[in-house]
Amino acid sequence: MRTLIVYDETGYIIYQASGDVREPVGIPFLWVDVPEGKQITGVDVTVTPNAAILEDIPKNETQLLKEQVDSLTIAMAEMMGV
């Protein structure tokens, strides 16, 4: 998803929006394509051109529990010789 990021000179994100938004004038901003499963955590201002810092979105409790159930199901099937 294409996202507009407005940030300060330290890389702190002041504003971010997607969709049909107006580009700011006179303040730093980036347009970033954020891949599925990633989130923007800041802007690296030590490189030129500045770049968004992307990280994996942490798994929520439901996803963690589903993975645990899946692994327990596999372990139980192996113990039963299925």
pTM for the structure as a whole: 0.68
Mean pLDDT across 36-60: 94
**Model confidence at 82: pLDDT above 80:** no
> Three-state secondary structure along the chain?
CEEEEEECCCCCEEEEEECCCCCCCCCCEEEEECCCCEEEEEEECCCCCCEEEEEECCCCHHHHHHHHHHHHHHHHHHHHCC
- Supply the pLDDT for residue 1: 81
